[in-house]
Amino acid sequence: MRKLLYAISLILITCLFNSCEILGDGCQVCQTVSYENEHPIAWGTEAEYCGQDLVDIKRIPPTTSGGVTTYWECR
């Protein structure tokens, strides 16, 4: 009985540590979107980013060239 409780506890703890990965909370689909006069005019290809890659994408500041501003947008 004690071994069964130990095994169940170990499985529960493992699931709790990985719950974000299991539920997909650590990933988002992102793409670039270009705006001109506050209206979207072009969209990049969507891709899924997770973990540090997602953090890095979200840190990229908007860029403006010739009146067109491009942002990374994630959902």
Q: How far apart are CA 64 and CA 43, in angstroms?
A: 15
pLDDT the model gives residue 58: 96
pLDDT score of 3: 63
Please report the sign of the dihedral spanned by the C-alpha atoms of residue 17, residue 21, residue 23, residue 29. positive
pLDDT value of residue 36? 97
What is the pLDDT confidence band of residue 59, given thresholds at 50, 70 and 90? very high
Residue 1 pLDDT: 73
Q: What is the per-residue pLDDT for 7?
A: 58
pLDDT tens digits, residue range 2-48? 765 555 665 656 655 554 455 556 899 999 999 999 999 999 999 99
Tell me, letter by letter, the H, E, C secondary structure of the chain. Answer: CHHHHHHHHHHHHHHHHCHHHHHCCCEEEEEEEEEECCEEEEECCCEEEEHHHHHHHHHCCCEEECCEEEEEEEC
Q: What are the residue boundaries of the structural domains of the chain, listed by start?
A: 2-74
